[in-house]
Amino acid sequence: MFEAVFKKKFVVIGMVHLKPLPGSVKYDGESIEEIEKSAIDDAKILMNNGVDGLMIENFGDKPFLNERIDLFPLLIMTRIVSKIISFSSVPVGVNIEFNCWKEEITLAKATGASFIRVEVFNEFRYNNAGILFPSFSKLLRLRKELNANDVMIFADLNVKHTYPIFDRDVEDLLDDFNKYVDAMIITGTATGKPVDLEFLKRVKSISKVPVLVGSGVKPDNIDVISRIADGAIVGTFFKRDGIVENPVDPTRVQKLMKILVK
């Protein structure tokens, strides 16, 4: 399904990072209209400067709750995702932190979003908010129940900002990925941190599904990454001055995308 939707050899998905939503620790009283406008502005800049897809994330809601988002911010996200989908010329995906797979697949089906990102698919991991359990069996059942097989699942392996409770062989983990996901994501240790290229090569050699790089992509490594992986999810580099909390900078989007068309 991935190849049919994106129709490119190497895909760049630009991040639309939402400002803090009501109820989150860093929310400072901005109106829903202001939050929405910021997201729409970023989405249009990314789309108009050549990215192949958009992913909308409640990035400003840190520190995140594991597998939980309150109703009001979820409804705000639904409103914003729907608005962006209404004008987008590229596929739009949803990422609700942290690992809110139930809300993601439901929101995606309701709005017409093309894909979701699931941070913990078939691993046992932990972060500073607690323990994270495998989600794939429940997610796949809910996807079936919602008749949402048209919503692609992008799943992380060894996702950033988390740690394994116990180690498992990559080959063992990838068996589920190869059977059940539409694309897999490899990241560095944190937002903006580059991937281990040797690990990326190893995963790519085993994977039967497209492999995306989910952090640390920038002009000085995009050429190498594009020769190994099938795509990249870019957030930090596209922001003004390379600061992840800043708005998207069109000149930085153009700089990265131009390298890929040479």
Tokens matching residue 144 = 């079936």
Return the CATH number of 10-260, one of 3.20.20.70, 3.40.50.1370, 3.40.1190.20, 3.40.50.300. 3.20.20.70
**Is residue 101 within 8 Å of 154, Cβ to Cβ?**
no
Per residue in 218-228, pLDDT tens?
Answer: 999 999 999 99
pLDDT value at 262 more than 80: no
Count the neighbouring beta carbons within 10 Å of the beta carbon of residue 206. Answer: 14
Count the neighbouring beta carbons within 10 Å of the beta carbon of residue 128. Answer: 10
Percent of the chain with pLDDT over 90: 97
Tokens matching residue 27 = 């929310």
Predicted local distance difference test score (pLDDT) of residue 261: 83
DSSP 223-255: HHHHHHSSEEEE-GGGBGGG-TTSPB-HHHHHH
Enumerate the domain spans of the chain.
10-260
